[in-house]
A and B are shown apart, each in its own frame.
Chain A
Amino acid sequence: MENILQHFSGSLNNYIILCSILFAIGVMGVLIRRNIIIIFMSIELMLNSINLLMVAFSMHHGDPSGQVFVFFVMAVAAAEITVGLALLVMIYRNTGSVSIDALKNLKW
């Protein structure tokens, strides 16, 4: 048991693997779901995995700038989600649906 646990210490390598998996789950969410709300949530998931990796690197190098960057990422994420959800309400009001299929006209 102890030997197995040794592999899961909070080292930088483990955080790189964890954040890659979380980021890829976010990418998959964008690709396989059709509901715009879920797509926004997947984008939030990707931003959070980047935040986690940035804090891990900041702690690894002993440099607080990485954690200050996390605040800016959070600020941009909050602003983006506000505008995105307002757009979503607008789309729902005009098309009566929150599926990205409602925006097919943008393809051409």
Chain B
Amino acid sequence: MDQLFFLILSILAIGSALSVILTPNPVYSVLFLVLTFFSIAGHYAFILGAQFVAIVNIIVYAGAILVLFLFVIMLLNLNKREQYKKPFSSKIVGIVCGGLFILSLLAAMAGYQSNEEMIKASSADIGTVQVLGKVLFNEFVLPFEVCSVLFLSAMIGAIMLGKKNLKDH
């Protein structure tokens, strides 16, 4: 049953990821990206047993980032006159480079043999909120606080960039 889940979720993730980069319309790309993120969240929840990461993935990506993407696409009012065609040769070069990249990654991993058992069996309750919260607020308190500074600076930067005329203010 788990194998069937893994197969379905993987095919869904790879297929929708390919659709993201191949559909010409940016709105459809965003919707396929939602599908990719949901299938990755399905991997987290059903196969790896990391429930908290799954929920956070859905909330942060599908809830926040993709809504931001959709807002920007609708704000920009992109019409059909620009198709942003790249020359055919550069597309071929891009696809060949990506294929070679996959090959080199897989060749680097070829010698590695993990035991074939399911990952979840060895570690039952690592993905729970309780365990993660303890780790986050004991060992990783400083990075957590630095993250808040990062968000503050990103927010200020976005507001400053979004203003029409900085000199007027």
Contact = CB atoms under 8 A, between A and B. Distances in A.
Q: Do A and B come from one complex?
A: yes
A58 B53 CA distance: 12
Given A11-B116, A31-B94, A60-B114, A20 B109 contact: yes
A56 B109 CA distance: 15
Interface string B84-127: 11100011011101110110011001001111111110110011
A51 to B, nearest CB: 7
B2 interface: yes
Interface residues of A, number: 74
A77 to B, nearest CB: 7
Contacts of A56: 48, 119
A67 B7 contact: no
Contacts, number: 245
Interface of chain A, main secondary structure: helix
A89 interface: yes
Contact of A98 (B18, B76, B90, B126): B76
A88 B1 CA distance: 44
B132 A42 contact: no
B100 to A, nearest CB: 9
Interface residues of B, number: 89
A105 interface: no
A11 B21 contact: no
Contacts of B113: 13
B65 A78 contact: yes
Contacts of A68: 132, 135-136, 139-140
Nearest to A19: B105
B33 A45 contact: yes
Interface in B26-40: 26, 29-30, 33, 36-37, 40
B20 to A, nearest CB: 6
Interface in B48-77: 48-50, 52-53, 56-57, 60-61, 64-65, 68-69, 72-73, 75-76
Contact of B143 (A72, A82, A85): A72
12 contacts: A14-B6, A16-B109, A31-B94, A44-B33, A59-B49, A67-B132, A74-B61, A77-B65, A78-B151, A81-B65, A82-B157, A89-B162
Given A37-B29, A44-B61, A75-B150, 10 more contacts: A18-B10, A20-B105, A21-B14, A32-B21, A32-B91, A34-B85, A48-B36, A58-B50, A74-B60, A99-B84
